[in-house]
């Protein structure tokens, strides 16, 4: 019964797959010595509980109470509306300091032509401002990274600044192309008046403060603060893809708790090393979670199955199939059958070393795409995500499991990928040579820059 749904075979270039397999075989390093692994495991037993505190269960109950309070408030305006939680509040990848993400599911009212005209004018002004801010962020981030690198190599400050000026000129065309692409894709959003009205309703309630409406952001939201829980909140409109993404991640975490532990460590590491900001050209926390899940799907024996391959029905959201197997016991049984009755018993420490090794030495960045949806890696060519296309940067390719046309690595350019891969290599070397997870997550400074 478990074998009635077989994993589909993605369209792949056989030569690319062979090169990927050869790279894994050629670059795989010997495992940690038992004594070193035991030391790392002992350290992890003390380190992980501080990140995944069981006391968060009480916090989860209070957050559900807050969700209902916000929903009751907004239903005074939209009686049929419903507020959903998503993000870390659902996935379990949060701590007491995490913010709370919500979305209001509601049908927006029709707009008049006069309203459309005013909105188009405002969008034009906001678009120009965002373009300038985006260029400035990219420029500052690139200059900071390159200056630190050249100083480490002993290049004089004056000479380093001259190099930076030349590189800045070369980046202007690339930034211009990105701006043009985003400008072409951007359209007026009918949820803008809904976001503005939400802000008014929340501002009128003394239970909330620090109200900030961002109706013309890329994802229109209202930011606010709940006084009782002392937690910052974001609420948008009809972002149901994010809701289903969060439910998918939550289900993977329920199948095997090691996934939660590993994600918490990786998210902390990425934050401390300053490589988790998509607005500055690096990966989002969600992208790192997808990288962890895909890695666990690829272990032998596998730690996680592909829940979308095992789905029993399709659930269409914004023309994307968001169906997946939500029954945890059934998913575990299917995983055990696929592993021929063998369970993966690797410790979180061993998996952490394996994760850093995979993304340092084994993944073929040039030709392959990480694919949680199928539980494997597929070629960029099969997605038409070839990196040499002029306006399509896919230097690191990570498919969104539901919005399959979205590459989570699309924000990363060549320079940022080099920094991300250096951080992976640094983390792997520290774990492999010093077996010290605390050193791995030390805040970023200029102390390490490999060749």
Give the residue-averaged pLDDT of 80-86: 95
Nearest to 320 by CA among 434, 412, 396, 242: 242
What does the alpha-carbon distance between residue 316 and residue 328 come to, in Å, rounded to a whole number?
A: 22
Residues 96 and 59: beta-carbon distance below 8 Å: yes
Residue 29's H or E segment, with its range, is none
Backbone dihedral angles phi then psi of residue 17, each to the nearest 5 degrees: -65, -40
Give the residue-averaged pLDDT of 173-197: 61
Angstrom distances, CA of residue 319 to CA of 240, 374, 402: 12, 19, 10
Nearest to 291 by CA among 247, 340, 338, 252: 252
- Mean pLDDT, the chain, rounded, equals 83
Give the pLDDT band of residue 3 (cuts 50, 70, 90): very low
CA 362 to the chain's CA centroid: 20
Backbone dihedral angles phi then psi of residue 428, each to the nearest 5 degrees: -65, -45
Nearest to 161 by CA among 173, 146, 180: 146
What does the alpha-carbon distance between residue 97 and residue 231 come to, in Å, rounded to a whole number?
A: 7
CA 119 to the chain's CA centroid: 31
Please write the tens of the pLDDT for every residue from 102-130.
999 998 666 567 766 776 776 677 677 76
Please write the tens of the pLDDT for every residue from 401-444.
999 999 999 999 889 999 999 999 999 999 988 889 999 999 98
Question: Is this model's pTM higher than 0.95 or not?
Answer: no
What pLDDT was estimated at residue 116? 65
Sheet holding 376-379, edge to edge: 376-379, 368-371, 397-398
Please write the tens of the pLDDT for every residue from 397-413.
999 999 999 999 999 98
């Amino acid at each position: 019964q478990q074998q009635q749904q077989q994993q589909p075979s993605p369209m792949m270039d056989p030569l690319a797959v062979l090169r990927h397999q050869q790279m894994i075989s050629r670059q795989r390093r010997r495992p940690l010595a038992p004594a070193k692994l035991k030391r790392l495991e002992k350290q992890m037993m003390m380190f992980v509980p501080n990140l995944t505190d069981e006391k968060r269960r009480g916090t989860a109950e209070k957050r559900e109470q807050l969700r209902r309070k916000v929903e009751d408030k907004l239903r005074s305006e939209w009686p049929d509306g419903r507020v959903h939680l998503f993000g870390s509040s659902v996935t379990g990848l949060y701590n007491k300091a995490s913010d709370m993400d919500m979305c209001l599911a509601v049908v927006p009212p029709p707009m008049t032509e006069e309203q459309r005209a005013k909105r188009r004018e405002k969008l034009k002004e906001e678009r120009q401002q965002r373009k300038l801010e985006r260029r400035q962020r990219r420029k500052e981030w690139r200059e900071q990274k390159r200056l630190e690198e050249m100083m480490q190599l002993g290049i004089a400050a004056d000479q380093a600044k001259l190099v930076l000026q030349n590189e800045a000129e070369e980046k202007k065309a690339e930034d211009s192309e990105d701006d043009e692409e985003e400008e072409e894709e951007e359209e007026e959003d009918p949820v803008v008046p809904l976001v503005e009205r939400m802000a008014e309703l929340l501002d009128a309630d003394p239970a909330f403060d620090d109200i900030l409406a961002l109706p013309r952001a890329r994802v229109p939201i209202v930011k606010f603060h709940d006084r009782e829980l002392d937690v910052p909140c974001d609420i948008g409109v009809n972002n149901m893809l994010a809701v289903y993404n969060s439910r998918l991640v939550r289900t993977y975490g329920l199948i095997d708790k090691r996934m939660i532990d590993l994600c918490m460590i990786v998210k902390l590491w990425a934050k401390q090393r300053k490589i988790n900001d998509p607005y500055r050209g690096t990966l989002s926390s969600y992208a790192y979670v997808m990288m962890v899940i895909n890695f666990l799907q690829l272990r032998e024996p596998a730690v996680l199955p592909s829940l979308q391959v095992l789905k029993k029905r399709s659930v269409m959201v914004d023309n994307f199939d968001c169906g997946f197997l939500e029954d945890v016991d059934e998913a575990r049984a299917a995983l055990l059958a696929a592993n021929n009755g063998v369970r993966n018993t690797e410790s979180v420490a061993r998996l952490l070393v394996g994760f850093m090794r995979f993304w340092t030495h084994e993944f073929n960045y040039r030709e392959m795409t990480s694919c949680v949806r199928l539980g494997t890696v597929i070629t960029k060519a099969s997605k038409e995500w070839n990196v040499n296309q002029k306006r399509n940067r896919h230097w690191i390719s990570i498919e969104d499991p539901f919005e399959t046309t979205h590459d989570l690595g699309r924000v990363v350019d060549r320079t940022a990928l080099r920094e991300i891969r250096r951080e992976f290599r640094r983390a792997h070397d520290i774990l492999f040579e010093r077996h010290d997870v605390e050193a791995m997550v030390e805040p970023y400074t200029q102390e390490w820059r490999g060749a």
